[in-house]
Amino acid sequence: MSIFAQAVQRQGYAVSDRHSEWSVQSNERSVGIVGAGPAGLTLANLLREAGIPCVVLEKGTREHIETRPRAGVIEHRAVQMLSSHGLADRLLREADRHGACEFRVNGRAHEVDYSALYGGQTHYVYPQQEVVKDLVGHYIASGGDIRFGVTDVQVHEISSSTPRLTWTSATGEAQRLDCSFIAGADGFHGVTRRSIPAGAIQEYSHQHGIEWLSVLAEAPPSTHKVIYALHPDGFAGHMLRSSTVSRYYLQVPVADSVDNWPDERVWAELRKRLALTDSDWKLTEGRIVEKRILDMRSHVVEPMNHGNLYLLGDAAHIITPVGAKGMNLALHDAEVLAAALIEYHRSGDDNGLRTYSEICLRRVWRAQEFSQWMVFMIHRSPEPFLSRLGEARLEHLIASGASAGYFAQNYVGP
Ligand code: PHB
């Protein structure tokens, strides 16, 4: 019997001989999920749907996590997954679908219809906080257990079959949960990854030599498509959120500060870098509601589990925002881990748990490679030779159907 099956038996599951299924007894331990982002909440919903007990711990308030702006693009396959579990009703009603983007270079616009190049698949533009809102609402409506505003979360005994979470509740009481498994979905700075003993995992990290100033403004979009602009002074991006709010990015030097970017400078730089020479296109401006410097860093942990702790989303890997893969990878992790835990609880088969990390990492590294490919293509490097190589890559993408096909497959798929 595998160590996982032994662990489950010790935890009070019993085997029903007739159906060779694990039947759950009253002392069943919960899956402890740390972090209520898209990954943790999707996992929680999928486990609840399958009747597997779980508890979600979140340090923020419900209001905070439901209003915090982050990513905004969801891929076709992630929407299909959410929808197959009844988690995408509002998304499917409200999200805009996008199948083309625009590259601007030397003042000229070039559209890439990636949907046409890749089987009609599209992106859905739906802000991350709306995904979170839907997932929290669905989980709570189905009777799910979620504790907001917790502090001092600690992970214990992950190498044993009886892992444990302790924390202080929002009202100050010390709490404890004996778990079957722990899912670490608490982001890059969370406690779960740090609870893995040194040497048990390998961490790969890379700073891409650039930074982005990320700007959110109450401004209607000035475009129907995501715009990537390559300008001698650096990259500028115009991304979509809603009919009243837009997201913009500017390449800035490493270690730059938002203090150097008063609103007037942001708009002037966006106007300049996004400008078209052969059209009267204009940027609509509005009130800037958020300005942050994004560290363009990639980080991957291998393997994504240790003992009975499984890492998901940003706790296991971060990726640059270029290509908009982060939330999609997090949702994929949740889907794979949920399937593995459900299979295990139903039949004792731990194959899904044993292959969890390998399956997720295959997609993670594919996405990292693509994001890096795009980073190189759309930014100015301090080294002029590298900048010209990036431009050559973009020119090839615009001129070559094969290169555009590669872009489309990786951008909206696979
Ligand atoms: C975004 O919507 O924030 C976004 C979209 C596409 C990218 C990067 C960011 O490549």
- CATH number of residue 225's parent domain: 3.30.9.10
Same domain, 153 and 59: yes
Residue 61 CA to its chain's centroid (Å)? 20
Same domain, 140 and 173: yes
In a domain, residue 320? The reply is: yes
Indicate which residue's Cα is closest to atom 10 of ligand 1. 323
Share of the chain above pLDDT 70, in %: 93
Q: Which distant-in-sequence residues (6+ apart) come within 8 Å of 301 by Cβ? A: 193, 201, 202, 203, 204, 311, 315, 316, 317
Catalytic site residue from 114, 124, 139, 228? 228
**Whether pLDDT at 270 is above 70:** yes
What are 72's two structure tokens? 């905004």
Q: How far is 8 from 14, CA to CA, in rounded Å?
A: 9
Cβ 377 under 6 angstroms from ligand 1: no
pLDDT tens, residue by residue, 16-58? 333 333 333 336 899 999 999 999 999 999 999 999 999 999 9
Same domain, 53 and 191: yes
What are 136's two structure tokens? 């929290």
Q: How far is 325 from 73, CA to CA, in rounded Å?
A: 8
In a domain, residue 178? The reply is: yes
Same domain, 89 and 22: yes
Which CATH number belongs to the domain containing residue 76 in this structure?
3.50.50.60
Same domain, 226 and 368: no
Cβ 324 under 6 angstroms from ligand 1: yes
pLDDT tens, residue by residue, 177-226? 999 999 999 999 999 999 999 999 999 999 999 999 999 999 999 999 99
pTM over 0.75: yes
Same domain, 325 and 406: no
In a domain, residue 116? The reply is: no
Is 248 an annotated catalytic residue?
Answer: no
Same domain, 234 and 325: no
Task: Band the pLDDT of 13: cuts 50, 70, 90.
Answer: very low
pLDDT tens, residue by residue, 383-408? 999 999 999 999 999 999 999 999 99
Starting at the earlier edge strand, list the strands of the sheet with 287-302: 108-112, 101-105, 226-231, 234-240, 246-252, 202-218, 287-302, 317-318
Is 204 an annotated catalytic residue?
Answer: no
Same domain, 148 and 256: no
Lowest mean pLDDT among 8-17, 69-78, 164-173: 8-17
Cβ 375 under 6 angstroms from ligand 1: no
Share of the chain above pLDDT 90, in %: 91
Helix H or strand E encompassing 27: none
Catalytic site residue from 325, 332, 345, 379? 325
Cβ 193 under 6 angstroms from ligand 1: no
Q: How far is 62 from 69, CA to CA, in rounded Å?
A: 14
Is 411 an annotated catalytic residue?
Answer: yes
In a domain, residue 110? The reply is: no
Q: How far is 189 from 198, CA to CA, in rounded Å?
A: 16
Cβ 326 under 6 angstroms from ligand 1: no
What are 414's two structure tokens? 């696979």
In a domain, residue 107? The reply is: no
What are 92's two structure tokens? 């499917």
Domain that holds residue 384: 208-296+380-412
Same domain, 269 and 219: yes
The mean predicted confidence, pLDDT, of the chain is 93
Count of domains forming the chain: 2
Cβ 59 under 6 angstroms from ligand 1: no
- What is the CA angle 156-160-165, rounded to 5? 25
Catalytic site residue from 13, 38, 59, 98? 98
Same domain, 291 and 301: no
Catalytic site residue from 321, 332, 344, 379? 321
Same domain, 148 and 85: yes
In a domain, residue 39? The reply is: yes
CB atoms inside a 10 Å sphere around CB 194: 12
In a domain, residue 114? The reply is: no
In a domain, residue 50? The reply is: yes
Same domain, 166 and 291: no
